[in-house]
Amino acid sequence: MEKPFLTMNASRPIHPIQRALLLSLTAASALALSACGSMVDSRTTSADAATRETRLARSFNPDALVRQSPPAAQAPDRALTRQDPASGLRVDINTPMPAANRQDSATVTEAMDAIGAPTDPLRPDAMLNLSDATATQDLWSRIRKGYALPELQSELIAEHERWYASRPDYVQRMTGRGSRYLFHVVEEINRRNMPTELALLPFIESAFNPQAMSSARASGMWQFMPATGKDFELKQNLFRDDRRDVLASTRAALDYLQRLNRMFGDWHLALAAYNWGEGNVQKAIARNQRQGMPTDYLSLNMPPETRNYVPKLHAVRNIVMQPERFGLSLPPVENHPYFVSVPIQRDMDLALAARLAGLPQEEFKALNPSQNKPVILAAGTPQLLLPYDNASLFVQNLGKHKGALASWTAWQVPATMRPSDAAKRVGMSEAGLRELNHIPPKMLVKAGSTLLVPRPEHREQDVSEALADNATMALAPDVPPLRRVSFKAGKRDAVASIAKRYRVSVQQVAQWNRTSASATFGKGQSVVVYVPAGNAVAAAPNSTRSGAQIQRTDLAAARGKAAVLASRRGELRVASAAPAPHATSATRGSGNAKLRAAPARNARIRVASAH
């Protein structure tokens, strides 16, 4: 089978103004170099090579961008190509790999010609002109011009301003990290006509860290709780968590903020509800209305975190407006996309994708933080985000790559088993399987769970969409089967004494009998404990003299050999805690002892409260 080859074709010709500018720039550069006698001089300085104009002229050949489409007979079949709706880039997975004897220069030229102009994922229909003079403007200025939140008179704002001003290193890290994503957030906010202060909200939520996770399990740079993320169609499964996805979480957060603003008619209350929950804000408003009090943000009784939430945003707003006033400086952020989207068609190792794109894995994960595993599943991941230059390099290197793209795949466990047994089945060590799939010690992997395992060399099929979107892993404690022991308490029986007798914790006995840990049992009161199936059961000291009746599941009964033990003033009853379908009961002898068949030997009695 031919290895897949990813190509990305330009869908629009270059704008005439851009063509003219680039041609003029190229001609001017050539004349200047010729006049200096250095047209063929290889000693061009790295500083000159790094200038934006020279890089653009070298990366974008106007003739290549306006080149006519190939004749219909040579054009690839449209049905074999797909254009990603978020990026506008066209992918053809059926294009064969270049021949072994094809020159590298020809391969590189073909890949570069096929890339075309980069596209902003948030505006796929708009032509992106990197030579536009506005692209070099400061994005911070654009944010300032869009400020629209009403003023807030609170002493807490000055308090947070002082906090940020005393931590310039933190501000630099936070704003530097946010520079990757800020343009796309601002673009989406402008498209929706929302206040641009909202683009600063991830500074408050997560310091613009898309992999942030709170103690309450809120995740991503917009800090979505699991349930709220599901409400806004953010997928959360074994392989990906879209709460961390840059584009998906931004879309969901702005959808949520717009809904809250329509609900409350006030941006400050909408922000409070984003932090605290709309139900809590509605209750606080209703409480103030009953008491005849104002219902604005500052008048509501809110927890400290929510009370500081909006003032903190206003503090960041003021710092961005006048950083010099607070002795701070903001890193320059240009007014153009940091990344473009590249659709993928085959499963691919994350490490390989980062290497093909020429990016360190940390940088690659910063742009694609939703991935939970070391393999990217094409069925569940429509696109990768890459800086434009690295997207071009990714296409070139992928065209020249030989060998497997993915070394991992998904495997559904056919039956409940220990990790050691699962590891033997897939040909890896138990330690490796546990580490890769985050399986704690003393746990069983339940049937139907999905594990990440090595991909066999002969396997050509990628993970299906159904499995990629719905994979789960369920675990169960790996403990011996438990049996239920029921008896009637004697005179001085208490929770503590029974726990000591059966070598279990006081809390367990209290839980099993729905009482407190310090409780005592009345004489004749029914008591329940659970013990491992193979352990001998100690009878209550006073049970035979008080006529107590003991019920238990015996290991011998599991083999069909039940024993009936009678005392002078009582009887022993052997019973299954979970009788098998074929269980029978019979009356035997004059002692009126009752015998019931127990479950098969390998039957497991599951008692959730026993662990």
492 and 517, same domain (yes or no):
yes
Judgement on whether residues 196 and 275 belong to the same structural domain of the protein: yes
In which residue are the tokens 């006048």 written? 322
Residue 95 lies in a domain: yes
Say how far apart CA 327 and CA 2 lie, in whole Å. 60
Q: Are strands 339-343 and 90-92 parallel, antiparallel or unpaired?
A: unpaired
What band does 125 get if pLDDT is binned at 50, 70 and 90?
A: low
Residue 4 inside a domain? The answer is no
Assess whether 490 and 470 both reside in one domain.
Answer: no
**Average pLDDT of the segment spanning 142-153:** 97
Same domain, yes or no: 69 and 50: yes
| Total number of domains in the chain | 4
Stretch among 162-176, 279-293, 543-557 having the lowest mean pLDDT = 543-557
Domain ends where: 477, 492, 508?
477
Q: Are residues 316 and 353 in the same domain?
A: no
CATH number at residue 285: 1.10.530.10
Q: Rounded to an integer, what distance in angstroms lies between the CA atom of residue 207 and that of residue 178? A: 8
Q: Is 205 a catalytic residue?
A: yes
User: Looking at the domain assignment, is residue 132 inside a domain?
Assistant: no
CA distance 253 to 274: 9
**Co-location of 219 and 177 in the same domain:** yes
pLDDT of residue 532: 82
Is the confidence at residue 89, as pLDDT, over 70?
no
Q: Are residues 53 and 147 in the same domain?
A: no
- Which residue, of 262, 294, 326, is where some domain finishes? 326
Say whether both 460 and 508 belong to one domain: no
Q: Which of 25-29, 325-329, 358-362, 576-580 has the lowest mean pLDDT?
A: 576-580
- Range name among 219-223, 346-350, 459-463, 595-599 with the lowest pLDDT average: 595-599
**Nearest-angstrom CA–CA distance, 10 and 326:** 46
| Between residues 269 and 17, the one the model is more confident about | 269
Residues 178 and 289 in one domain: yes
pLDDT higher than 90, residue 23: no
Tokens of 461: 């099929």
Q: Do residues 375 and 350 make contact, with C-beta atoms less than 8 angstroms apart?
A: yes
Q: Which residue has the tokens 């939520």?
A: 205
Answer yes or no: do 23 and 66 share one domain: yes
Residue 551 lies in a domain: yes
Does residue 339 carry a pLDDT above 90?
yes
Q: Which structure tokens are listed for 526?
A: 């029914």
CB-based contact 65:117 (threshold 8 Å): yes
Tell me, what amino acid is at 311?
A: P
- Is 167 a member of any domain? yes
Residue 180 sits in the same domain as residue 103: no
In single-letter form, the type of residue at position 42 comes to S
User: Which of 151, 205, 363, 465 does the annotation list as catalytic?
Assistant: 205
- 224 CA to centre of own chain: 11
Give the domain range for residue 202.
137-326
Question: How many angstroms separate the CA atoms of 483 and 558, rounded?
Answer: 11
Task: Give the number of other Cβ atoms within 10 Å of residue 242's Cβ.
Answer: 24
393 vs 388: CA distance, rounded Å: 9
pTM more than 0.75: no
In a shared domain, residues 286 and 385: no
Q: For residue 149, what are the CA distances in angstroms to 310, 556, 596?
A: 11, 76, 75
Decide if 119 is inside a domain: yes
In this structure, the number of other CB atoms found within 10 A of the CB of residue 572 comes to: 19
In a domain, 351, yes or no: yes
Predicted confidence (pLDDT) at residue 168 exceeds the cutoff of 50: yes
- Among candidate residues 598, 543, 529, the one with its CA nearest the CA of residue 571: 543
- Closest C-alpha among 323, 378, 333, 331 to residue 353: 378
Residue 404's Cβ-count burial label (10 Å; 0-12, 13-18, 19+) is middle
Q: Which element (helix H / strand E) includes 134?
A: none
Picking from 266, 296, 326, the residue at the C-terminal end of a domain is: 326
The percentage of residues in the chain with a pLDDT greater than 90, rounded to a whole number, is: 59
Cβ count near 239 (within 10 Å): 23
Distances, alpha carbon 555 to alpha carbons 197, 436, 482, 561, 582, in Å: 69, 38, 11, 9, 18
Q: If 0-12 CB within 10 Å is exposed, 13-18 middle and 19+ buried, where does residue 110 land?
A: middle
**Is residue 572, in this structure, part of any structural domain at all?**
yes
